[in-house]
Structure 1
Amino acid sequence: MIQPSRLVYSNNPCAAFMAAIVRSYEQQVGGRHYLGRTAVQKLVYFAKALGVPIPCSFEIYTYGPYSDAVTFSVDSMLADDVLKDTSNDPQTYSNYRLGENADEILGSYQSLIEPYRQVIDGVVQSLGNFKPQELELVATLHFIHHRLKQIWRRDPSKGQVLEEFRRVKRGKFRESEIDAFYNALRDAKLI
């Protein structure tokens, strides 16, 4: 007898890729850091930017690149127990881990996820230990660079990216941090 799916709200590719990112996070980072809302947004952003076909779009927002679809997927995954929030104070912060039904979605979408597993693992390995503020900084720099490149149809200069970053973030980060993260993105050939 075929068992009915326990996935009422989250049986879709976006949720499946997000579950794969959380699984990779659990395997590589474990309990050393919280995986909150900001971190999930930024890990999904970079996975998509590096070619994982996650069906969502990002716009610049308070904490950097943000997707309504990612937020909706997190809520859907929580409702379906694909994700669980293990935070002691969920009103203040989240700490996402895989829930009881995660294996169902990961199994159902395995053939879609598998070709991108190395990219997902690479994103988590590179960025999984970053603090939310660092993820905000690096993702915003990346987003601004690529948005300007799209608009201008050429690579913007470092000065142009940093000028736009300062306009968007208005003194939230120190110049030394901005410069260091820009250089790290450039050295990693991400911009």
Structure 2
Amino acid sequence: MLRDHAKLVQFFSQCEEVVGRKKLQKMIYIMKKCGLPFEERYQFHFYGPYSEELTLRVEELCNLGFLEEMKEKKSGYHQYRYTLTPDGKEFLGHYDDLSMPPMDALIEAMNGRSSRFLELVSTMVYFDHLTKEEVNDKIHQVKGKLNYTTEEIDEAWQFIDDMKEKTSH
């Protein structure tokens, strides 16, 4: 039961911090779509793929003292910053056999991106059963208010290819 929690703790152990709940949701989803064994189920919501299970697991990890959630007020809204605690590192020590593939390259690539960009990428991979042209049309349909440019969409396609390349080695 706690193996799925341990996988998340391992994720947090490999990134110094994650800033933003939306960014966290998108990072885990993109890694799952790249073949990493995260078990959280996702549905499509207003900001793209969203997992209630992930939200609850992160809340549980915070309540157990394995993650620290810092709430910051930033230009009129609240932003959340997540970091692993020493207790979280100790907890991870009980799960030597997780056999998670290395995530550092994926985490580094995504953590340096905006949540807006990761929302675009995660939405694109959510519709990976469609052709590239259909995905591009779908982006304009479901994300029309965000006014993604052709350049941003092309950059997202390149990013997706790069992420797949990082996980194929």
> TM (normalized to structure 1)?
0.75
1:14–1:61: structure 2 CA closer, same or farther, 3 Å change rule? same
Partner of 1:152: none
Q: Which residue of 2 aligns with 1:48?
A: 32
- State yes or no: 1:124 paired with 2:98: no
Aligned residue in 1 for 2:131: 157
Matches within 5 A, 1:172-187: 172-176=146-150, 177-186=152-161
2:12 is the counterpart of 1:22 = yes
Number of equivalent positions: 162
The whole-number CA distance in structure 1 between the counterparts of 2:80 and 2:69 is 6
Aligned-pair identity in percent equals 25
User: 1:63-112 deviations in whole A, cap 9, x for unaligned?
Assistant: 21111110001110110111101333397110000124202321122211
**Could you tell me whether the CA contact under 8 Å between 2:34 and 2:163 is conserved in 1?**
no
Give the direction of change, closer, same or farther, for the CA distance of 1:117–1:105 in structure 2 (3 Å limit): farther
CA-atom RMSD in angstroms: 2.2
Structure 2 stretches lacking a partner, 5+ long: none
8 Å CA contact retained: 1:83, 1:96: yes
Contact 2:33 2:125 in 1 (8 A): no
Q: Which runs of 5+ in 1 are unaligned?
A: 1-10, 150-155
- Larger-gyration structure (1/2): 1
Assess if the C-alpha contact under 8 Å between 2:49 and 2:122 holds in 1.
Answer: yes
Distance 2:73 2:4 in 1: 27
Instruction: Give the TM-score taking structure 2 as reference length.
Output: 0.84
